[in-house]
Structure 1
Amino acid sequence: MRSKMHKGVDTFCDLAKSEEEDQVNIGLEELEISINEAALDTLLAPCENNDQESTPLLPEQQQELRNRVCSRVRPGQKPGPELDPEPEGSPNQNPGSKKPGESFCEWVLRRFREMLSRLQKTWQAVLAWVEKKWASFVNKVKSIWSAIKNFCSRVAKYFSSLFLV
């Protein structure tokens, strides 16, 4: 069975053959979505298999994670402000359009790099969210562990002092 990502690559390659900007943009958008979906499926697979040791995410957290990734690019819409800004001197040009003197291949490569940049920013944001979400939990568990260690130490000292008398 072919994965979503392979299907997205195939779709992109088929659409790029047409050498039409709109078709390439659609192909890149679908590829980006399929990469995000494949990554999410891989990340959340242990949750679906009830493997709580591998992925301790509650269903609400899984949905929030999906929302954070999928909200970056919606089918039929241009990706958000993550696009690299165009150089000065081309204020009326669409950021996704070919630049003067740019070959079709150069344009496709530039657009592909922009998509990779958006993917990188999306997953960096997801990582930052996960780190922030779990950092406070980890700190609470550490403080509880410290309190338990202190309690056990005090109880051990107390009992040892009873037996030394």
Structure 2
Amino acid sequence: MCYSKTFQENIEKMRSEMHKDVDTFCDLVKSKEEDQVNIGLEELEISINETALDTIFAHCENNQESTPLLPEQQQELRNRVRSRVSPGQKPGPERDSEPEGSPNQNPGSKKPGESFCERVLRGFREMLSRLQKTWQAVLAWVKKMWASFVNVVKSIWSAIKDFCSRVAKYFSSLFLA
């Protein structure tokens, strides 16, 4: 696909913001305060999601003809991303939760023999997994939404073609009779 220079600039800006967010998280990890690390992971996930949403909305704003996104759709998109993670929130129905008491249930819960760094890495991987699941779900929703719209337009186009064909046959029969 060919994207505009503005879109590429927005992607670069998004990458830069995400790198800054990861750097901030890494600085926080140096403190080795487990509660701060857990909060930092939540904030990092939220920040990455918000940065990605801002990039999408900026693209839609700059390309309204080719990428229309109504305010209601923007809000639905934002809600779908935000409902998957909120600060201090336990996994909701949309999130894959671990069985009660599982050592993977909370990135801060320590597995036997696990070091602080291993726990942080596990928490980071879990956060990346949630990000991946969130954006895969968003992509599936967008595809479904647009597929439904495309099907409606195809049905209308088919009805118009059928109508035009019938009218053409009718007029042909009038003039040939």
The alignment's TM-score, normalised by the length of structure 1, stands at: 0.81
Measured in 2, the distance between the counterparts of 1:93 and 1:85 equals: 7
Matched, 1:29 2:33: no
Match of residue 10 from structure 1: 23
Report the counterpart of residue 52 of structure 2 in structure 1: 39
1:83, CA displacement in angstroms? 5.7
Aligned to 2:142: 130
Match 1:95 to one of 93, 106, 111? 106
Q: Deviation at 1:121?
A: 1.8
How far does residue 32 in structure 1 lie from its aligned partner after superposition?
A: 0.7
Instruction: State the alpha-carbon separation in 1 of the partners of residues 176 and 150 from structure 2.
Output: 39
CA distances 1:39-77 after superposition (whole Å, capped 9, x unpaired): 11121113333x2223211112111211211222223x1
1:146 is aligned, of 130, 155, 158, to 158
Q: Which runs of 5+ in 2 are unaligned?
A: 1-12
* SS of corresponding position for 2:155: helix
Question: Does the aligned pair in 2 maintain the 1:12–1:31 contact within 8 Å?
Answer: yes
Q: Aligned pair count?
A: 161
Match of 2:128 in 1: 116
What is the RMSD of the two structures over their aligned residues, measured on CA atoms? 2.7
Cα distance in 2 for partners of 1:52, 1:93 equals 43
CA distances 1:60-103 after superposition (whole Å, capped 9, x unpaired): 2111211211222223x1452436526x9x66996221211012
- 2:93 is the counterpart of 1:61: no
